[in-house]
Amino acid sequence: MSGNTISVLFKVTTWGESHGPATGAIIDGCPPGIDLSEAEIQAELDRRRPGTLPSASTRREMDRVEILSGVFEGKTLGTPISLMIRNRDVKSDAYDDLRDLFRPGHGDITYQAKYGIRDHRGGGRASGRETVGRVAAGAIARKVIAQAGMIVTAWTRELGGIAAHPLSLAAAEASPLRCPDPEAEKRMAARLEEARASGDTLGGIVEIVVRGCPPGLGDPVFGKIDADFASALMGIGTVKGVEIGAGFEAARMTGAACNDPIGPEGFRTNHAGGILAGITSGAEIVIRVACKPIPSIACPQDTIDVKGRPAVVTVSGRHDVSVIPRIVPVCEAMVSIVLADHLLRQKAITP
């Protein structure tokens, strides 16, 4: 979990700057003999592409994934799977004005502080584009965990302060905003249009649900699966909060109300969100993440330049109004990667 690699056995490393030649991922530790095609990975990448909704940028990304290694005659070899997606449609000149300016809310100023150098074009490594590699890797993780019966689904629970209720998780996939509540979705779309008109952006809350997870996944203490979920999700650029099961609401409950009674048929409630003492219980896993509004806004903002002098920056270019819904498959990917890793770890110690 250091640098640019996550996991112990199902290891994923992503690489690539937003406006560099390409972006990609290595998956090291995928079990052998799994059917895998570029088309399957491409399908997941297409789910994260900008659509035609008010939330989307007008930028057209044509992300074509190429499998460079680790797959032979349509099956995984057990060796590292190298995935590459060329960066296209790159208008780097639009970023010339930002070479010496730090955009508020962005990593410009911290990358400069850390490295003394940065690729200022489109956020470089801190760009949302980095998540392309995650989604590609997540597509493979999904296949690994599907073999054990696990299905990961995320949906838009809140956008711009408008809350939704899931009528059915299946409906989320059909919705352009990944929101299974049609009435809320309509209001969200209007709210997005409103924000776009004023050059502003919106945040939201995504909920991730895992069905079919077997009990016993997760290590004690520093390899707890909830700790790994938290790390994997908080490591998405936009995320400022992670909660599991009752989450922050649990802080206001009493023990008698919060404990989930157990019957022969299973847990009668699910305030634990499917995890007890860092190990899955077999109940549905429920996680929520808070996404901040995209920091690239079309209004002038106070900032400083690399020499510390006051300046005003206005971020132009094509930008999304909200990371939702594009962040939804990214959340699914991260949760799938963590599950795949713990599934393999558990296999290692099971007699």
Interface residue with a second copy among 174, 253, 314, 316 (CB under 8 A) is 253
Minimum distance between the CB of residue 35 and a second copy, rounded to whole angstroms?
11
Interface residue with a second copy among 68, 167, 170, 197 (CB under 8 A) is 68
Distant-in-sequence, close-in-space partners of 349: CB < 8 Å, separation ≥ 6: none
Contact pattern for a second copy over residues 28 through 47, marking x by CB under 8 A: xx-xxx--------------
Give the C-alpha distances (Å, rounded to integers) separating 165 from 155, 156, 169, 211.
10, 9, 10, 18
The answer to whether the CB of 308 falls within 8 A of the CB of 294 is no
Binding footprint of a second copy, residue count (CB under 8 A): 151
Contact pattern for a second copy over residues 233 through 252, marking x by CB under 8 A: xxx-x--xxxxxxxxxxxxx
Regarding 197 and contact with a second copy (CB under 8 A), the answer is no
Using CA atoms, how far apart are residues 94 and 130, in angstroms rounded to an integer? 19
- Token pair recorded at residue 164: 């939704």
Using CA atoms, how far apart are residues 245 and 273, in angstroms rounded to an integer? 3
Using CA atoms, how far apart are residues 111 and 227, in angstroms rounded to an integer? 26
Minimum distance between the CB of residue 261 and a second copy, rounded to whole angstroms?
4
Using CA atoms, how far apart are residues 75 and 40, in angstroms rounded to an integer? 12
In terms of CB distance, is 145 or 291 closer to a second copy? Answer: 291
Contact pattern for a second copy over residues 71 through 110, marking x by CB under 8 A: -x--x-xxxxxx-x-----------------x-xxxx-xx
The answer to whether the CB of 220 falls within 8 A of the CB of 278 is yes
Stretch in the footprint of a second copy (CB under 8 A) among 13-21, 39-47, 56-64, 180-188: 13-21
Using CA atoms, how far apart are residues 219 and 23, in angstroms rounded to an integer? 32
Minimum distance between the CB of residue 100 and a second copy, rounded to whole angstroms?
13
Minimum distance between the CB of residue 40 and a second copy, rounded to whole angstroms?
17
Interface residue with a second copy among 122, 180, 203, 329 (CB under 8 A) is 203
The answer to whether the CB of 224 falls within 8 A of the CB of 279 is yes
Interface residue with a second copy among 122, 138, 180, 273 (CB under 8 A) is 273
Regarding 293 and contact with a second copy (CB under 8 A), the answer is yes
158 beta partners: 163, 205
Regarding 190 and contact with a second copy (CB under 8 A), the answer is no
Stretch in the footprint of a second copy (CB under 8 A) among 43-51, 164-172, 174-182, 267-275: 267-275
Stretch in the footprint of a second copy (CB under 8 A) among 55-63, 88-96, 119-127, 171-179: 119-127
Regarding 182 and contact with a second copy (CB under 8 A), the answer is no
For the packed helices 327-349 and 38-47, what is the interaxial angle rounded to 10 degrees? Answer: 130
Apex CA 332: angle with CA 331 and CA 334, to 5°? 65
